[in-house]
Amino acid sequence: MPDDETQTPTLKSGPATRTAHELRTPQLPGEGEPPAPWLLRLIAVGLVLAALNLRPAITSLGALLEEVREGLHMSGSVAGVLTSVPPLCFAVFGIMAPRLARRFGAGAVVCAGMAAIAAGLLIRPYIGSTAGFLAASALALMGIAVSNILMPVIVKRWFPDRVGTMTGLYSMALALGTALAAAVTVPVTGALGGDWRTGLVVWAVLAVVAVLPWIVLVRDRTPAPGQPAPAPGPAAAPTGAPGLRITRSRTAWGLACFFGLQATAAYITMGWMPQIFRDAGVSAGTAGLLLAVTMAMGVPLAFVIPRVASRLKQQGPIVVVLGLCGLIGYGGLYLAPAAGAWAWALLLGVANCAFPLALTMIGMRARSGAGVVRLSAFAQSTGYLISIPGPLLVGVLYQHSGGWGLPIALMAGLMVPQMVAGILAGRDRTIEDEC
């Protein structure tokens, strides 16, 4: 990582000398007194708990997609629409995140996001119609969307000297939550009576727990990243940020395309991979475990890859390695889906680690907090827009071709432009150099 970031914050005065107002409304790095160590630890816990909730709403549904389709009388095309809802919501609601953070504070927005996830997961299994299920899913995904955008922002704001480490930490937690939902949803559903509704609603509990650490930051009204700070300093108001025209940056567009293509692969995998294995003769429980293995690969790699990437000037070599793993995994899935199922799951799990790499590059391709906010919102929102057609097209191809040959060929073909975009995004430059 560049060395122009602030040093690790240290407490200048003991807890006894801090007023109740200071503890309730903590000060930020570069704005007077540094935050207390207990506050940084609480934010780290909050990041982990929030990250654990950013995918179970999706992967728990993927594990039970066949049961949900039967219960709600969905066709394959409608199920394809359902698997396209996450990137659509992430694109639409993610655009709102920077504005909401400026008005209410990033911590308050994440807290509200966790509450929205909990509410959506609680009500969606019991609405009883496809439209209601989609609407409740959209509520949960709205909370995920704004939190997705603000995770890199919060890391850059509170841990400016540990971007790679903290990105790896919450990326690892995100992968863990994804894998847990894929692995245990089917067995938990069976243990609780076999009703798919119960299997989906249990994940609301985790979201309720995730609300708690963020309550302490609900009243935080310090300037959001990108807004002028009272006392200029290394981490204060960014130079030239208000005039930043991000759409002129080839790096920003490369990162948006890379993010969008990796998101396409991820949501196709989360939404359809269990069904691919089940259609190949694999049991429902094993298919869920295979998806869990794919997601679990992100637990160690999501911690390692950001740390390695932050030490490299160019991240293109990592992009290529991940892309080749994806190509081999899709080739195996096409030729021998059941015989080599565990190997293909592992390889696709490695390929899916393009997500933490993309998040790391968001933090590295901008010099300032304002740049990170703009780049995070642009790359993620544009990227999710790019990813919307993928899961839907897979559902349509599956229904009309009667098999998985064409959908898998599509998945493999998309890995090539993903690698090209990732190499472009991984060049050693920042968006401020191009805008």
pLDDT over 80 (residue 234) = no
**Residue among 311, 307, 162, 165 nearest 235 (CA):** 162
Q: For residue 325, what pLDDT band results from cuts at 50, 70 and 90?
A: very high
Query: Is residue 302 a contact partner of residue 172, using CB atoms and an 8 Å limit?
Result: yes
Q: Whole-angstrom Cα distance, residue 95 to residue 184?
A: 33
Contact between residue 50 and residue 215 where contact means Cβ atoms under 8 Å apart:
no
Give the residue-averaged pLDDT of 419-433: 92
Per-residue confidence (pLDDT) for residue 222, from 0 to 100: 52
How far is the C-alpha of 384 from the C-alpha of 94, rounded, in Å? 9
DSSP calls for 214-225:
HGGGTT--SPPT
pLDDT tens sequence across 17-63: 444 344 444 444 444 466 778 888 899 999 999 999 998 988 888 77
Read off the tokens for 275: 């069904």
| More confident site: 98 or 173 | 173
pLDDT score, position 346: 94
Mean pLDDT calculated for residue range 406-423: 95
pLDDT number for residue 33: 60
Q: What is d(CA 212, CA 206) in angstroms, rounded to the nearest whole number?
A: 11
Model pLDDT, residue 376:
82
Rounded CA-CA distance 403/426 in Å is 36
From CA 327, how far away is CA 348, in angstroms rounded?
A: 9
Q: Would you state the pLDDT for residue 240?
A: 38
Please state the rounded mean pLDDT for residues 50-79: 82
Ranking 105-114, 149-158, 315-324 by mean pLDDT, the lowest is 149-158
Helix axes 76-94, 130-158, angle to 10 degrees: 40
Residues 115 and 106 sit within 8 Å (Cβ to Cβ): no
Does pLDDT of 349 surpass 50? yes
Amino acid 332: pLDDT: 94
More confident: 220 or 368: 368
The residue written with tokens 């968006």 in the block is 431
User: Of residues 60 and 329, which shows the higher confidence score?
Assistant: 329
All residues at 6 or more sequence positions from 144 whose CB lies less than 8 Å from its CB, including other chains: 53, 54, 55, 57, 86, 89, 90, 113, 117
User: φ, ψ for residue 221 (rounded to 5)?
Assistant: -115, 20
The arithmetic mean of pLDDT across residues 326-336, rounded, is: 94
pLDDT tens for each residue of 377-393: 889 889 988 988 888 88
Per-residue pLDDT, 31: 46
CA-CA-CA-CA dihedral for 339, 343, 347, 348, to nearest 10: 50
Pairwise CA distance, residues 44 & 217, whole Å: 13
Place of tokens 């229904």: 399
Span between the terminal Cα atoms of the chain, in Å: 21
Instruction: Kindly report the backbone phi and psi dihedral angles of residue 312, in degrees, each rounded to the nearest multiple of 5, phi listed first.
Output: -100, 145
Helix (H, G, I), strand (E, B) or coil at 375: helix
pLDDT for the residue 166: 85
Average pLDDT estimate for 355-377:
84
Q: Which is more confidently placed, 415 or 245? A: 415
Residues 6+ apart with CB under 8 A from 97: 109, 145, 146, 148, 149, 150, 377
pLDDT at residue 269 is higher than 60: yes
Q: What percent of the chain has pLDDT over 70?
A: 85
**How confident is residue 220, by pLDDT bands cut at 50, 70 and 90?**
low
- Averaged pLDDT, 172-186: 85
pTM > 0.75: yes or no: no
Assess whether pLDDT exceeds 70 at residue 259.
yes
pLDDT classification of 157: cutoffs 50, 70, 90: confident
Per the rule left: phi > 0, alpha: psi between -120 and 50, beta: everything else, 18 is beta
* Separation of alpha carbons 130 and 141, rounded Å: 16
Q: Which residue reads 């240290």 in tokens?
A: 10
Task: Please report the pLDDT score of residue 243 as a whole number.
Answer: 57
pLDDT, average across residues 276-301: 86
Amino acid at 338: A
Q: Are 61 and 200 in contact (CB under 8 A)?
A: yes
- Say how far apart CA 126 and CA 37 lie, in whole Å: 43
Selected residue with higher pLDDT from 402 and 3:
402
Q: Which of 80-89, 162-171, 179-188, 246-255 has the highest mean pLDDT?
A: 246-255
Residue 276 has pLDDT above 50, yes or no: yes
Residue 8 in contact with residue 35, Cβ under 8 Å?
no
Per-residue pLDDT for 4 more than 80? no
**What average pLDDT does the chain have?**
81
Would you say 94 and 113 are in contact if contact means Cβ atoms under 8 Å apart?
A: no
Q: Is the pLDDT of residue 343 over 60?
A: yes
Evaluate whether 373 touches 325 at the Cβ level (below 8 Å): no
